[in-house]
Amino acid sequence: MSLTLTTFSSSFFFFINFIFIFNLHHSIAQSQNQRVTFSSFNSSDSPWLPTQNKFLISPNRNFTAGFFPLPNSPNHFTFSVSFAKVPQSSNPIVWNATSTNLTSKSSLQITTNNQILLNGLPLFVNPNRSSSSQSNNASTIQLVLTDDGNLKFGDSNSFDDATNTILPNQDVNSTELVSNNGRFKFVRKLVLDDDGNLKIYSFYPEEKNQWKVVWRAIWEMCRVKGRCGSYAICVPSDDLNVTTTSCFCPTGFTANNGVPDRGCTRKKPLSKNTGFIRLDYVNYTVSGDGSTMNQLSGSQNFSVCEATCKTNPNCLGFGFKYDGSGFCVPLIGKELQYGYWSPGTETALFIKVDESESEESSNFIGLTEVMQTSCPVRISLPQPPKDSNATTRNIIIICTLFAAELISGVAFFWSFLKRYIKYRDMATTLGLELLPAGGPKRFTYSELKAATNDFSNLIGRGGFGAVYRGELPDHRVVAVKVLKNVSGGDAEFWAEVTIIARMHHLNLVRLWGFCAEKGQRILVYEYIPGGSLDKYLFRLNNSRKGDSNTQQEKPILDWNMRYRIALGVARAIAYLHEECLEWVLHCDIKPENILLGDDFCPKISDFGLAKLRKKEDMVTMSKRRGTPGYMAPEWITADPITSKADVYSFGMVLLELVSGVRNFESPQSMVRSDEWYFPGWAFDKMFKEMRVEDILDGHIREMYDTRAHFEMVNRMVKTAMWCLQDRPELRPTMGKVAKMLEGTVEITDPKKPTVFFLGEE
Ligand SMILES: *[C@@H]1O[C@H](CO)[C@@H](O)[C@H](O)[C@H]1NC(C)=O
Ligand SMILES: *[C@@H]1O[C@H](CO)[C@@H](O)[C@H](O)[C@H]1NC(C)=O
Ligand SMILES: *[C@@H]1O[C@H](CO)[C@@H](O)[C@H](O)[C@H]1NC(C)=O
């Protein structure tokens, strides 16, 4: 027994020795390129040369510092701090020493009087160095790299000397930061990019080592001033998730030196006879002495607005809103600058040109290239709120009341105090509380009670609570949504609501105000008269359920309307994703949340509300395992929820628009088993059996004309199939989806969507 053991152990040691010798050989062969890491650099190690291939490493091994060869010229170096675990190809550098142009002969040295010199120049340039009480005791000072990526030498450090990146300056001794909800694990950095925008990036090792922008100071890249020269218009690139932009000259202008980035010049200088070119969704800033961009008071009609600008030789153009609000802004000044295109502007800009040029058709009409408005322009929409006027009036009324009260000689302080409280309440009632500019209006509970006739006219009941129709004193019709199960305090609610109210898009329902009083959480939206899409699509099912409140029969949507609805919804979600990045997802896209306005213009409701929900609710929501419907597989597999979850839900809606059938309810005509999965079934019909007719809505099958509609229907179904891929990374971004529907990008053949909830019951 013991013999065997000895034999075993000796052979074991032999084996170990073998490995050791082998390794020794191996390392000798590689010694020239071997990286040496060390935890501090002091005068006894000095000088430090690029050829030594030595790297300082932080104790947690997250950061490293040293001489890094330039990617395109291996004999030139930077002295940098870098993420240690992010590969070289993924831009791991977080700090660079200012001395550039380092060669293999450069060195980092600690001098006898305790200075640290790179190529003979101080390594750090931060000002507090000279004034600091740095000791002259040479032996004690060394260069170290802390766990949070700070390169320190005495009182000098790289954090005080930041280049383009800022790291979270906290005691992070784990590899990564973990967000509160635990879903996102990031290495993060804040960078002032070369495009002038400040961004936070997250590192995703599992997704091909990519840095992704998760936040940026200016959402729309084109709003960063200075991208394009004068008169040029900045337009985001085709894919909305990409942050690249291009410059274009408006019709009637030519690019300076052929490059619109350098600005544009009028083809003909302005003379007596002028005209205008219409540029939809474009905005400029005017420059020059005495330049102004003020809204004309009162509501103007188009011809007055145009005439005002035409007659003023200093007017370069005017902005006008086609929403009936009479919004008119003449641009007075010497030059137009910082032009950008954005659906958020909601205005058309009319730029002044020579009359002969104004005949040409504009290159920014309907935004064909980027995002065509999918709603017809209407002149007679309800008047939007005129808050500013009302506020001024209210201030005047209150001041007058106050003055009158004082003059009438109220002597007692306590009574004054009592009045003050009353005035304060009155101010609240009138919406006079301090609100951020352009923020939503704060309503009182009693105001909304009055507006909705004591919450008597119920028009819907959704996941977030009941919705009532109401009418404000200024005769605006509103939809009042009384939320239930909302988490967070007043301030949090207000902050969220302000964000939601800032989202402006033709295809989003506008939020006008809110009420947070006595524990109530109420949102006030514009009223969309048409009702929700499901009422139009699933007619059979409605009548089967015997909808008791006999609503008037909804008209049947033809193919063009369905296509327009799909496109509008896609654009609005793309806008939401683009505007909010990963922070706000819709999370609840379904026909019930798509309302139809005038001319069947689709408007998404309930966006941004997912964040207001209580955490527990979200959990139960994600636990609704196997519920067929609109939820992406990652809700069930507990994978991270990203914007691609909305893409999945949209895919289902798209398929339902084509088929007029609920994805989880089988009509009699379809054979169904437990394994029946609507997208898979539709895929086979469309691409295997080539029987398009079988998946089309029975109500309008006769209207289907292969020549007129095949292209459109085919595009809708193909796009849906891409959206319904079970793996999120295979699904396109919402911006791409909109492009696919538009037909401006080629749609490759999708894979058959698979049944992800099979086996669950
Ligand atoms: C520097 O060294 C001197 C003695 O050489 C000592 O008295 C002094 O306290 C030291 N200063 C610091 C800051 O360590
Ligand atoms: C300098 O660093 C070396 C290791 O690189 C270490 O052995 C030595 O003790 C350090 N000297 C001082 C004075 O800190
Ligand atoms: C257009 O740009 C100006 C100047 O940057 C800004 O004040 C104005 O609010 C913008 N207008 C719209 C409709 O976005």
Digit-coded pLDDT (tens) for 726-760: 888 899 988 889 989 988 888 888 988 886 544 33
Sequence-ordered strand ranges (E) for 415-464:
441-442, 458-462
Ligand 3 centroid, distance to 340 Cα (angstroms): 10
Asked whether 37 and 56 are in contact (CB, 8 A), the reply is yes
* Residue 596 confidence (pLDDT): 92
User: 715 and 697 in one domain?
Assistant: yes
Flag whether 17 is in a domain.
Answer: yes
- Three-state DSSP class for residue 119: coil
Test site for ligand 3: of 227, 282, 293, most ligand atoms within 8 A of the Cβ: 293
User: 52 and 24 in one domain?
Assistant: yes
Flag whether 84 is in a domain.
Answer: yes
Out of 161, 534, 588, 606, which one is annotated catalytic?
588
Flag whether 599 is in a domain.
Answer: yes
* Residue 363 confidence (pLDDT): 75
Contact 172 CB / ligand 3 (< 6 Å): no
What's the CA gap between 156 and 143, in Å, rounded?
Answer: 10
User: 160 and 195 in one domain?
Assistant: no
Contact 325 CB / ligand 3 (< 6 Å): no
**Mean of the per-residue pLDDT values for the chain?**
74
Test site for ligand 2: of 36, 38, 40, most ligand atoms within 8 A of the Cβ: 40
User: 267 and 127 in one domain?
Assistant: no
* 257: its two tokens: 């030196």
Average pLDDT (153-171) is 72
| Percent with pLDDT over 90 in the chain | 23
* Residue 211 confidence (pLDDT): 80
Strands 335-341 and 233-236: parallel
Instruction: For residue 385, count other CB atoms closer than 10 A to its CB.
Output: 17
H-only helix segments in 31-154: 128-131
Residue indicated by tokens 């305090």: 489
Contact 337 CB / ligand 3 (< 6 Å): no
User: 204 and 173 in one domain?
Assistant: no
pLDDT in tens, 17-72: 333 333 333 333 334 457 888 999 988 888 899 988 899 999 989 899 999 988 88
* Residue 611 confidence (pLDDT): 64
Ligand 1 centroid, distance to 137 Cα (angstroms): 6
Q: Could you tell me which residues come within 8 angstroms of residue 347 by beta carbon, excluding any fewer than 6 positions away?
A: 281, 282, 283, 319, 320, 321, 327, 329
Q: Could you tell me which residues come within 8 angstroms of residue 484 by beta carbon, excluding any fewer than 6 positions away?
A: 464, 465
Q: Is the pLDDT of residue 389 over 80?
A: no
Asked whether 655 and 679 are in contact (CB, 8 A), the reply is yes
Q: What is the CA radius of gyration of the chain?
A: 32
Average pLDDT (168-186) is 41
Contact 142 CB / ligand 2 (< 6 Å): yes
User: 100 and 10 in one domain?
Assistant: yes
User: 196 and 110 in one domain?
Assistant: no
Q: Is the pLDDT of residue 426 over 50?
A: no
What's the CA gap between 84 and 66, in Å, rounded?
Answer: 11
CA-closest residue to ligand 3 atom 4 = 285
For residue 331, give the ligand nearest its CA. Answer: 3
User: 365 and 299 in one domain?
Assistant: yes
* 99: its two tokens: 């001395």
Q: What Å distances lie between residue 134 and 114, 131, 140, 152, 338, CA to CA?
A: 9, 8, 11, 13, 48
User: 606 and 472 in one domain?
Assistant: no
- Three-state DSSP class for residue 274: strand
Asked whether 87 and 151 are in contact (CB, 8 A), the reply is no
Average pLDDT (284-301) is 88
User: 721 and 595 in one domain?
Assistant: yes
Flag whether 398 is in a domain.
Answer: no
Flag whether 28 is in a domain.
Answer: yes
Average pLDDT (424-451) is 62
Flag whether 96 is in a domain.
Answer: yes
| Percent with pLDDT over 70 in the chain | 70
Q: Predicted confidence band at 411 (pLDDT cuts at 50, 70, 90)?
A: very low
What's the CA gap between 373 and 365, in Å, rounded?
Answer: 10
Strands 511-515 and 441-442: parallel
The answer to whether 739 is annotated as binding is: no
Asked whether 232 and 247 are in contact (CB, 8 A), the reply is yes
For residue 285, give the ligand nearest its CA. Answer: 3
Domain coverage including residue 469: 431-527
Flag whether 377 is in a domain.
Answer: no
Contact 46 CB / ligand 2 (< 6 Å): no
* Residue 487 confidence (pLDDT): 67
Average pLDDT (320-329) is 79
Phi, psi of 6, deg, nearest 5: -60, -45
What's the CA gap between 598 and 591, in Å, rounded?
Answer: 17
What's the CA gap between 754 and 680, in Å, rounded?
Answer: 6
Average pLDDT (252-278) is 91
Q: What Å distances lie between residue 523 and 440, 500, 571, CA to CA?
A: 10, 10, 24
User: 706 and 562 in one domain?
Assistant: yes
588 given a catalytic annotation: yes
Phi, psi of 287, deg, nearest 5: -125, 170
Sequence-ordered strand ranges (E) for 135-236:
142-145, 151-153, 156-157, 165-166, 177-178, 185-186, 188-192, 198-204, 210-216, 233-236
What's the CA gap between 407 and 389, in Å, rounded?
Answer: 27
Instruction: Please count the structural domains in the chain.
Output: 5
Asked whether 686 and 747 are in contact (CB, 8 A), the reply is no
Residue indicated by tokens 């893409």: 647
Average pLDDT (214-226) is 73
Annotate 658-679 with three-state secondary structure: HHCCCCCCCCCCCCCCCCCCHH
For residue 132, give the ligand nearest its CA. Answer: 1
- Three-state DSSP class for residue 38: strand
Q: Which residue has the higher pLDDT, 731 or 643?
A: 731
Contact 218 CB / ligand 3 (< 6 Å): no
Flag whether 708 is in a domain.
Answer: yes
> How far is Cα of residue 504 from the mean position of the Cα atoms in its chain?
13
User: 199 and 162 in one domain?
Assistant: no
